[in-house]
Structure 1
Amino acid sequence: MLQSRSERIAGVFIYIILSFITLLVLYPLFFVLIASISAPETVMRGEVWLWPKELSFVGYERLFANSDLMRGFMNTLLYTTTGTALNVLMTIAAAYPLSRADFNGRGIFTAIIVFTMFFSGGMIPNYLLVKELGMLDTIWAIIIPSAVSVWNIIIMRTFFQSSIPKEMQEAAFIDGASNMRVLWRIVLPLSGPILAVMVLFYAVGHWNSYFSALIYLSDRANYPMQLFLREILVQGQMQEMVDISDDSLARSLMDAEAIKYAAVIVTNLPMLLLYPFLQKYFVKGVMIGAIKG
């Protein structure tokens, strides 16, 4: 189609605005990246803007030399993989029955589930429940209370209803297939986009979570990485990584700044690497559910 002069001008203007917004969003992350590999004194003097200056990896060296952080990384990896697997399994188990028109009482069950999204017992009852179940200071205190998300159940249920052909399921039932066989052989193979969305949502949530660990865990051996990073970034507890007795106070403060930038990169890098592989499924899964829901 031929565009008028005013439409072309408007298009250029839109691209300029979107490019400016993109730069505003990406620059903070880019700055943290170049600051993490620059000499700390150049960062503190405000000399680092667009390119790293005087390459230095002291922040990463101090960061990876910390045994607590490495143990926290492995704990977070365990919590994320185990929790995400359980989350996706529970979400499928709830969403598939609720998506079936022949499931009697699905409206009642949906209302009960949605009710919990707006009203909950609160932090103290949840803590008492976890304590009575004997899950304090265990992996289950992090995984079980957040085993399923009501919002994600609704998203997956909508996808099953709008994107899985009912005729295929009915034909399978006529051929003698059970509900589990239909789910395993027909529904799940056609649900790649929404499964990728669920994996991304749950994995990011587990990877960034620290509040549950702050409440339910007291043994530092079970701490996720986020709690140790919280100590570094928020509480400023650098004693175990920066030895003030060896360096001057100024040198220690500079190393502390380098550690902060390195910690931000280490925290975000795994999720940033995961997203490109799931992007096409992520966009497709969200849009299909939104348009047809």
Structure 2
Amino acid sequence: MAKTAQERADEKAERLYYKKHKKPGKITLADVIFNVINYLVFALFTFICIFPFYYLFINTISDNELVRKGLINFFPRGIHFGNYVRLMAVNDLFLSTLVTVSRTVLGTALMVTASGFVGYLVTQKEMWGRSFWYRFIVVTMYFNAGIIPWYLNMSMLGLTNSFAAYVIPGIVAPYNIILVKTYIESSIPSELEESAQLDGASKMKIFTSIIWPLSKPILATIAVFGAVGQWNSFQDSLILMQSAPKLYTLQHRLYIYLNTTSNLAALMSSGSTSGISQTVLESALNGKVIKYTISMVTIIPILCVYPFMQRYFEKGIMMGAVKG
């Protein structure tokens, strides 16, 4: 039997009254204990995550002799910034930093663009050989020929001692393409594309005006992946740039500096210190400090960039992994 308008109005008024005057649930002792334990666990987890970076930093600005003896654990002592000043004096450090920044920006931009476009293409059912090409891209994730065939291939392609070796091989990233494809299929309604097609929009117009703006979370996510990988990349510089020291990356240059000080420390332990300046000897004595300082220099840029991408990162990686 259908309700009258008056009965429906009375029920609505009753619900509103109950919602306005209902009392909040009583907090029990179990709730308090659970909240306390929950906060303590997350506080401990946060401390565990932050403390290694804090430990590195305080050891780089503390007295080097105290650091060498392992006496700096929680608070800095004898604060100075000489380690960073000394590191800035490394030969060609500025040029290596410029190379690393350039490959990170350019390589990440090209990778994100290619991943977004290819990820969109493999969602199009009318694409010729769509299943084959998608599987062909995915299967490359499971096979690796090894360093020697990789080097021979790069050499035959003319990518040794060339800046292009930092950028071209990383443009196509199968894992990122999978993330973009999954995100588009699960998060962007197909009706938007169909509507644009009815209005006469081309595939490129749909991609640039609809798919690309709506895919910002997943694109920001793979941008973080790509930037971190490019910034920390070391092997390609070590193997491919043997005759082009001007193209050494920051990590490669700092690796050479660290090896030099380690070798000097070995010479000092054997008593062979003739002809070595006092400044160099002091650097060799503080090998641990040098390692800490180099670690901080390579980590700081990523720590500065990541917070700005965090709001996209979590949403993108979750949405991009909903289905395969």
Q: Could you state the TM-score of these two structures normalised by the residue count of structure 1?
A: 0.90
* Match 2:109 to one of 77, 82, 85: 85
- In structure 1, C-alpha distance between the alignment counterparts of 2:32 and 2:178, rounded to whole Å: 41
Q: Is 1:184 aligned to residue 203 of structure 2?
A: no
* Match 2:220 to one of 187, 196, 207: 196
Call closer, same or farther: CA 1:272–1:18 in 2, change over 3 Å: same
The answer to whether the 8 Å contact 1:95/1:153 transfers is yes
Task: Single out whichever of 227-236 and 172-181 deviates more from structure 2.
Answer: 227-236
CA deviation after TM superposition for structure 1 residue 128, in Å = 1.4
- In structure 2, C-alpha distance between the alignment counterparts of 1:182 and 1:124, rounded to whole Å: 43
- In structure 1, C-alpha distance between the alignment counterparts of 2:184 and 2:37, rounded to whole Å: 40
- The 5 A counterparts of 1:76-225 are 76-218=100-242, 219-225=244-250
- In structure 2, C-alpha distance between the alignment counterparts of 1:247 and 1:62, rounded to whole Å: 10
- Aligned residue for 2:72? 48
Q: How high is the sequence identity, in percent, across the aligned residues?
A: 37
CA deviation after TM superposition for structure 1 residue 105, in Å = 2.8
Letter in 1 for 2:291: K
CA deviation after TM superposition for structure 1 residue 116, in Å = 0.8
- In structure 1, C-alpha distance between the alignment counterparts of 2:49 and 2:263, rounded to whole Å: 29
- Aligned residue for 1:226? 251
Does 1 or 2 have the higher relative contact order (CA < 8 Å, sep 6+)? 1
Which sections of structure 2, spanning at least 5 residues, go unmatched? 1-24, 265-274
Aligned-residue CA RMSD in angstroms?
2.2
Which sections of structure 1, spanning at least 5 residues, go unmatched? none
* Match 2:291 to one of 256, 260, 265: 260
CA deviation after TM superposition for structure 1 residue 101, in Å = 3.1
- In structure 1, C-alpha distance between the alignment counterparts of 2:151 and 2:130, rounded to whole Å: 30
- In structure 2, C-alpha distance between the alignment counterparts of 1:163 and 1:102, rounded to whole Å: 20
- Aligned residue for 2:314? 283
- Aligned residue for 1:21? 45
Counterpart secondary structure, 1:67: coil
- Aligned residue for 2:13? none
* Match 1:31 to one of 52, 55, 58: 55
The answer to whether the 8 Å contact 2:116/2:219 transfers is no
Counterpart secondary structure, 2:321: helix
- In structure 2, C-alpha distance between the alignment counterparts of 1:225 and 1:289, rounded to whole Å: 32
Q: Could you state the TM-score of these two structures normalised by the residue count of structure 2?
A: 0.82
Letter in 2 for 1:131: S
Count of residue pairs the alignment pairs up:
289
- In structure 1, C-alpha distance between the alignment counterparts of 2:29 and 2:179, rounded to whole Å: 42
CA deviation after TM superposition for structure 1 residue 244, in Å = 4.3
CA deviation after TM superposition for structure 1 residue 151, in Å = 0.7
- In structure 2, C-alpha distance between the alignment counterparts of 1:40 and 1:50, rounded to whole Å: 15
Q: Is 1:10 aligned to residue 41 of structure 2?
A: no
1:116-154 per-residue CA deviation (whole Å, 9 max, x = no partner) reads 110133322221121111111001122222222111110
